[in-house]
């Protein structure tokens, strides 16, 4: 509930706060020329490559809402960073023909911030909250009646004279995005009518994304070059586009013309990225496990000290991809380098992991 010191203060939400702070939310529109990263984002389901099952479900979801002439139910997307959660939220808004206002969990510091955003929405508008798992608990509780009943509860005054007012909110749709679905409280998670997980992309899909991006970037990309970059993309479109831009830079500076497999390999070597997409820190984690701890098992705290990385950084940024590739095991006793890790680094195959699980 929003608490104010006098009855006149409720006007701060309904009238005085019509102009929202730029840091809290902003109106989203189609990408303009000059915004390279935004220009690479798909603008429709037809342009959106991959995630076929999710797209099929969303098409039905949106078409049904449009036939009933009502706002779509609240939706949440979860999965690793860089897979397109923000992009799909903007596509939904475009398909529905409504405005989208974008903010993030950490940006909504006070209850009044959320109140300002909600009271400035129009019927059918979409409110997109990135990193929704990082919402303040008191702010999150305001969302419960807003999502279910489209009501905003306000406490006017203090002490014995305090009383509650309810403001009607428009029929908006909340679209949330998170990398940690388990970090959401059960009451908030249960209020979403649709929950979708974004999976890592297949190499063929990444290749198609790279070819599309190359056209938008006005650079020549050969098939073998696209395949070379896709293998090193960590199965993530955001990483793939970043590598494509760096390969384009390399080709332009060295007057190499189109990006073929040779140019792609040279550009990746310059970035110290191998054919599996492993960066120096990824390799240092595996090398530390093998060279200093005989392949493990070793605790996360010890591994963090040995690699000079923070535990949370290792756990949230590097380990997911290493586990996805099968180079690292997370056991109750600690982290273990697999036989594949030994093979990739060219080390003798004497993995303790094999002995441990026999």
- Contact residues for 141 (Cβ-Cβ < 8 A; gap 6+): 1
Beta-sheet strand order (sheet of 163-168): 2-4, 151-156, 163-168
CB 331 within 8 A of CB 299: no
72 with 62: CB under 8 angstroms?
yes
- CA distance linking residue 280 with residue 272, whole number of Å: 7
Rounded Cα distance between 306 and 135, Å, is 33
Q: Catalytic residue at 179?
A: yes
Annotation says 238 is catalytic: yes
- Return the residue matching tokens 């020549």: 220
Catalytic: 354? Answer: no
Q: Give helix 223-231 / helix 203-217 axis angle, nearest 10°.
A: 120
- Using H for helix, E for strand and C for coil, what is the string for 257-311? CCECHHHHHHHHHHCCCCCCCCCHHHHHHHHHHHHHHCCCCECHHHHHHHHCCCH
Angle at 122 between CA 72 and CA 31, to 5 degrees: 80
Q: Is 234 a catalytic residue?
A: no
- Collapse the DSSP code of 238 into the 3-class scheme (helix H, G, I; strand E, B; otherwise coil) and give the result: helix
Please report the DSSP string for 179-228 in residue order.
S-GGGS-HHHHTT-SEEEEPPPPPHHHHHHHHHHHHHHHT--B-HHHHHH
SS (H, E, C) 102-133: EEEHHHCCCHHHHHHHHHCCCCCCEEEEECHH
* Exposure of 96 in the CB half-sphere (CA atoms within 13 A): 27
Active site residue 86: yes
Query: Catalytic pick from 12, 73, 134, 179?
Result: 179
Active-site position among 134, 238, 246, 265: 238
Catalytic residue among 3, 14, 55, 86: 86
- How far apart CA 321 and CA 207 sit, in angstroms, is 19
Which residue out of 87, 103, 125, 130 is catalytically annotated? 130
**Residues labelled catalytic:** 85-86, 130, 179, 238
């Amino acid at each position: 509930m929003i608490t104010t010191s006098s009855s006149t203060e409720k006007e701060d939400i309904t009238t005085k706060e019509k102009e929202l702070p730029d840091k809290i939310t902003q109106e989203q529109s189609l990408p303009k020329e000059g915004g390279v990263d935004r220009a690479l984002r798909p603008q429709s389901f037809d342009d959106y490559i991959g995630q076929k099952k999710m797209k099929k479900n969303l098409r039905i979801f949106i078409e049904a809402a449009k036939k009933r002439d009502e706002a779509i139910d609240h939706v949440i997307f979860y999965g690793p960073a860089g897979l397109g959660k923000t992009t799909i939220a903007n596509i939904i808004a475009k398909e529905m023909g409504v405005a989208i206002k974008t903010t993030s969990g950490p940006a909504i510091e006070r209850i009044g911030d959320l109140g300002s955003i909600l009271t400035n929405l129009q019927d059918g508008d979409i409110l997109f909250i990135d990193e929704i798992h990082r919402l303040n608990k008191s702010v999150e509780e305001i969302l419960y009646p807003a999502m279910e009943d489209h009501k905003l509860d306000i406490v006017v005054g203090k002490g014995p004279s305090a009383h509650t007012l309810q403001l009607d909110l428009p029929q908006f749709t909340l679209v949330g995005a998170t990398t940690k679905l388990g970090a959401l409280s059960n009451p908030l998670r249960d209020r979403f009518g649709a929950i979708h997980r974004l999976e890592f992309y297949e190499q063929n899909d990444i290749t198609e994304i790279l070819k599309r991006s190359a056209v938008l970037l006005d650079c020549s990309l050969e098939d073998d070059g696209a395949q070379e970059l896709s293998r090193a993309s960590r199965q993530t479109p955001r990483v793939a586009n970043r590598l494509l831009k760096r390969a384009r830079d390399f080709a332009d500076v060295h007057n190499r013309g189109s990006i073929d497999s040779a140019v792609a390999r040279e550009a990746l070597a310059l970035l110290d990225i191998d054919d599996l997409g492993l960066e120096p820190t990824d390799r240092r984690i595996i090398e530390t496990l093998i060279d200093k701890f005989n392949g493990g098992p070793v605790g996360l705290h010890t591994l963090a000290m040995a690699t000079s990385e923070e535990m949370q950084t290792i756990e949230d940024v590097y380990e997911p991809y290493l586990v996805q590739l099968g180079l690292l095991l997370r056991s109750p006793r600690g982290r273990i380098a697999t036989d594949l890790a030994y093979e990739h680094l060219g080390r003798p195959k004497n993995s303790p992991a094999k002995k441990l699980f026999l």
